[in-house]
Amino acid sequence: MNYKIKDERIKAIIFLVISSILASTGGILIKLVDWNPIAIAGSRSLIASIVILIYLKKPKFTFNKAQVLGSIAYTSTVILFVTANKLTTSANAILLQYTSPIFVALLGIWILKEKIYNYDWVTMFIVFGGMILFFIDDVGLGNMVGNIFSIMSGFFFACVTISLRFQKDGSPVDTVLSGNVLTFLVAIPFILGSIPDSRSIIGLVLLGVFQTGFCIILYALAMKHIKAIEAALITVIEPLLNPMWVFIFSGEKPGLYAIIGGIIVLSSVTIRGIYVSRKPEKV
């Protein structure tokens, strides 16, 4: 791996970490918004679309298979995840959505022809085990339909990752723009049902600009220089950071299992990153 490729990979990892931090604010910001969940998702996507459009200036909608399917997958991810949060516990929704690395690995082998190494599989299962430990105090059976929707959301999130990686030589940011526009269009009937109060509007702006707009731009740019499975593993820090914001702003302390699980997840992803950096490969 030459220095330019290595530098691009490091920058991509930094983008993914920042993206995960921004995404993790969703839970605490959504609490500011008193509105229908799908209306929240659609309005957030509308604001995010404006942010992404300002960044792109002149979007290129090729309407090729990767872009169209990526946009549909993005919308499906958002709608299913919001619906799952209404039907099952938040812990279940977050945990089950982050089965996505397994789907990324399988789809990456099949579609992208990216080789998945033994250390990827080991890291995946350690991460998943750590996340179960992290949420053990809160995870229950929940609603079966909600749980299924959460897993489906994880599958479509994996499809988004694969789509963006497939466009590594193109402009993956255009795909997330079209995905946000499509999400808004789907949510219009719910948005027209009522008008949010001023506090909710502030929350929506923060969600649209930072938690979705800047977040998804960084994620899409990172996918040009990093393998799909690595992106999926790095971004699992998002659900771990959610309780941190809750602790900071509401004083709700995480339990012992949560702390241990968080350490396991972060350590395993970090160790994998160090190992890969010492054993460079073309991405």
Closest to 230 measured CA to CA, from 13, 3, 10, 2: 13
CA gap 84, 154 in Å, rounded? 11
The structure tokens listed for 278 are 């010492």
Give the pLDDT band of residue 283 (cuts 50, 70, 90): very low
Backbone torsion region of residue 254, taken as left when φ is above 0, otherwise alpha when ψ lies between -120 and 50, otherwise beta = beta
pLDDT at position 64 is 85
H or E element, residue 48:
helix 37-56
Mean pLDDT is lowest, of 80-84, 186-190, 279-283, for 279-283
pLDDT at position 76 is 94
Q: What pTM was computed for the model?
A: 0.80
Chain segment 209-262, per-residue pLDDT in tens? 999 999 999 999 998 888 888 887 888 788 778 777 767 776 666 677 767 877
Per-residue pLDDT, averaged over 9-17, amounts to 90
Q: Domain map of the chain by residue range? A: 3-278
Give the pLDDT band of residue 116 (cuts 50, 70, 90): confident
Residue 181 has pLDDT above 90, yes or no: yes
Per-residue pLDDT, averaged over 256-275, amounts to 76
Q: Give CA separation, 138 vs 95, 183, 191, 269, in Å.
A: 11, 30, 31, 23
Chain segment 27-82, per-residue pLDDT in tens? 778 778 888 888 999 999 999 999 999 999 888 888 888 899 999 999 999 888 88
Give the pLDDT band of residue 278 (cuts 50, 70, 90): low
